[in-house]
Chains A and B, each alone.
Chain A
Amino acid sequence: MKANQKVREIKSDSSANAKIVGGLVALLLTIIVGVLVFWEVNDSITLSSADANTSRNETTDMASTVFSLLPIVALVIVASIILSIVLGFGGGKGGL
């Protein structure tokens, strides 16, 4: 992931801050565009068979779960940055 990659380059890249935030925004926007595309395609498909409808319901339920979990990636990236900085407290080698 671009945002996460940039965390590794953060020591040498002077514009890393802006790139990480840009990566986070891109990630979140990609998720909502993904939601839009998925549901537009799904809503446009008409299924006549009950079995097909059951399968589709399972897929859409799982898709909803996935779409709910995806934004947590952004949360974890922010947490990883904060943790990286905290690990460097006191001039330790572990942090940024």
Chain B
Amino acid sequence: MKANQKTKNIATDRSASTQIVASVVVLLIAVVIGVMVYYEVDDSITAFDEVTETFTGYTLSTSNDSATTITLDNFPDGTSNCNITCYNSTAPSESYPSYSLSNNRITFAAEAADEFSQINVTYTSKMSGDAGETTTMAGTVFALAPIIVLVLVASIILAIVLGFGGGKSGGL
């Protein structure tokens, strides 16, 4: 690394100190720009957001007479991340049936919900869950990247200290 390389030349090169500081600053700026680019791209992908889908066309009087199955556009990330609301636009009222989830199919039994004219499903997709884990790890990586600078500074300090007393073991 340039900063570290310059550490070895610091005793003879008059501009080494400046170059060490410059390379450390370049590294930190690169990390900040990297953070900006990553999160701008991540935030711009709307598919990673929470999804709300609406299913209409149910006849109020017969809507809960038989089991209902709906197919979502994406695979929900488990039942804990999926909320179903059966909506009656006439009353108006809402009911929350218990349901089973298989891939992207949601099924609930007859009479599990009150009469409804519309079903609203809000869920976090598996895609979003996987991307979230990458983003969490990216946060860790971006937090660790500046430690490189810390280690570089430590290496410079150690190199100087090891040279105290004119010993040969010093890095400088």
Q: Which residue of A lies closest to B104 (CB)?
A: A43
Give chain B nearest CB distance to A18 CB in angstroms: 4
Interface pair A40/B47, CB less than 8 Å apart = yes
Once the chains are docked, how many angstroms separate the CA of A16 from the CA of B23?
10
Q: Mark A22-57, 1 if CB is under 8 A from B, else 0.
A: 101100110110011011101100000000010011
Interface pair B158/A70, CB less than 8 Å apart = no
Size of chain B's interface in residues, with CB distance under 8 A? 54
B135 close to chain A: CB less than 8 A = yes
- Max chain B C-beta neighbours (<10 A), residue from A21, A22, A95: A21
B93 close to chain A: CB less than 8 A = no
Interface pair A18/B45, CB less than 8 Å apart = no
B169 close to chain A: CB less than 8 A = yes
Q: Which residue of B lies closest to A43 (CB)?
A: B74
- Max chain A C-beta neighbours (<10 A), residue from B47, B75, B144, B145: B145
Q: Mark A55-96, 1 if CB is under 8 A from B, else 0.
A: 011001001100110111011001101100110111100011
A11-B145 CB under 8 A given contacts A29-B38, A42-B75: no
Q: Tell me if B's interface is mostly helix, strand, loop or mixed.
A: helix
Give chain B nearest CB distance to A78 CB in angstroms: 5
Give chain B nearest CB distance to A15 CB in angstroms: 8
A75-B144 CB under 8 A given contacts A36-B45, A43-B73, A89-B155: yes
Chain A residues in the interface with B (C-beta under 8 A)? 10-11, 13-18, 21-22, 24-25, 28-29, 31-32, 35-36, 38-40, 42-43, 53, 56-57, 60, 63-64, 67-68, 70-72, 74-75, 78-79, 81-82, 85-86, 88-91, 95-96
Known: A21-B145, A53-B102. 15 other contacts (CB 8 A): A17-B148, A21-B31, A21-B34, A29-B37, A32-B48, A39-B75, A40-B127, A43-B74, A53-B103, A64-B130, A67-B130, A78-B144, A82-B144, A82-B147, A89-B159
Chain B residues in the interface with A (C-beta under 8 A)? 1-5, 8, 23, 26-27, 30-31, 33-34, 37-38, 41-42, 45, 47-48, 73-75, 102-104, 125-127, 129-131, 133-138, 140-141, 144-145, 147-148, 151-152, 154-155, 158-159, 162, 169-171
